[in-house]
Amino acid sequence: MATTQREDFSCAAATNDSAYRRIATPVLRIDAGPGPAVALMAGVHGDEWEGQAAILELWHRLPDLLRRGTVYLLPAANAEASLAGARLSPSDGGNLNRAFLGAPARGYTESVAAALEARLLPRIQTLIDVHSGGASLRYLPASVITRQGDDPYDARLPALARAFGLPHCIFFRGGEPGSMPAAASRHGVLRLSAEIGGGRESSQALVARCRDGLLGCLAELGLLDRGPRAPAASPALYDLNADAATLRAAEAGVFIPEACLGQTLEAGQALGTLIEPARPELPARAVLPSQPGTVVCLRAIARSHPGDCLAQVARALSLDSLPDLYRPCS
Ligand SMILES: [Zn+2]
């Protein structure tokens, strides 16, 4: 039987109305003897709900399931943002996924990042960090592999992505030293992420897929006797690193998508239109992806402004091609 211990930490989150305010980040440590140490985290962005709900379920269920090793559960890493239903921290506007900048920590968000880097990352070998589209985007249910800088290829990554069991897998390349992937890389922590759902809503179906994916990863890492289901087929891989994959609004308008998430667009096929009902003389403008492929991500808010991400589109690749994305020329 595993043992549990709360290891919450709190950080100052002063506002104009509350001088000495502090916000606690909940952390549950579950110990089941010798074995790997793994953290399951969500809520780095406070409005991304599937991972937060799934890890909250595991908060109550995992102590009975864990067979070996140690698991840290963080259902709401940016607790202030989660409580506010916001992507960024309300007290300082910080983005926790860009706040791993080292000392001195300026404000609440960097203090949370500093606490995670000091208290969590040195104690784990693997981090599963679940994101979603949040308020402004919706994603196909996808595991995410981020190559930070010149990180070498790690053959455990495709195995973890398969174990997560989602039908899609996104590849990003990270270069910002303040990101969570950068911090994990600095500590030699194997990291898999996910993008599941979004659009300021959630559903138990997506939460259950996320929960089962996290359990599948723990089984793959040897902490459970078996996963929640038989291993799924390999996910399709989408390289979203290329500039051509992300389609941004070049001008203001109301975004009317014609394509759906998961739809495959041919070359030259429009994704939707931008219209301006308050300017009836303006013609509808076609929104054309720079490359053909599957719609992996779609903006969930119609009113759009220049620079807003409207969609991400990329060709489906075999997961077996992942090592190619780690070659020096990639
Ligand atoms: Zn996120």
326, burial (CB in 10 Å: exposed 0-12, middle 13-18, buried 19+):
middle
Would you state the structure tokens that stand for residue 126, as one six-digit string? 């693997």
Instruction: Give the three-class secondary structure for 19.
Output: coil
Predicted confidence (pLDDT) at residue 134 exceeds the cutoff of 50? yes
pLDDT mean over 17-38: 97
pLDDT mean over 316-328: 94
Question: Does residue 235 contact residue 319 with C-beta atoms inside 8 Å?
Answer: yes
Would you state the structure tokens that stand for residue 64, as one six-digit string? 């009975």
Bridge-based pairing state of the strands 190-198 and 137-148: antiparallel
- Ligand 1 center–CA 203 separation, angstroms: 17
- Ligand 1 center–CA 186 separation, angstroms: 20
Predicted confidence (pLDDT) at residue 257 exceeds the cutoff of 80? yes
- Ligand 1 center–CA 87 separation, angstroms: 8
CB within 8 A of 166, min separation 6: which ones? 141, 142, 143, 194, 196, 209, 213, 232, 235
Angle formed at CA 57 by CA 51 and CA 58, multiple of 5 degrees: 90
Environment of ion ligand 1 (residues, CB < 5 A): 45, 48, 131
Predicted confidence (pLDDT) at residue 210 exceeds the cutoff of 80? yes
Predicted confidence (pLDDT) at residue 107 exceeds the cutoff of 60? yes
pLDDT of residue 329: 57
Taking the C-alpha atoms of residue 153 and residue 173, their distance in angstroms, rounded to an integer, is 12
- Ligand 1 center–CA 48 separation, angstroms: 6
- Ligand 1 center–CA 45 separation, angstroms: 5
* CA distances to 106, 118, 130, 155, 177 from 111, in Å: 7, 10, 21, 33, 16
Answer whether 0.75 is exceeded by the pTM. yes
Angle formed at CA 248 by CA 256 and CA 85, multiple of 5 degrees: 75
> DSSP for 85-102?
T-SS-TTT---GGG----
Taking the C-alpha atoms of residue 62 and residue 165, their distance in angstroms, rounded to an integer, is 19
Question: Does residue 261 contact residue 138 with C-beta atoms inside 8 Å?
Answer: yes
pLDDT mean over 143-164: 96
- Ligand 1 center–CA 105 separation, angstroms: 21
- Ligand 1 center–CA 327 separation, angstroms: 27
Predicted confidence (pLDDT) at residue 204 exceeds the cutoff of 90? yes
Beta partners for residue 265, in sequence order = 293
What one-letter code names the amino acid at 76? Answer: A
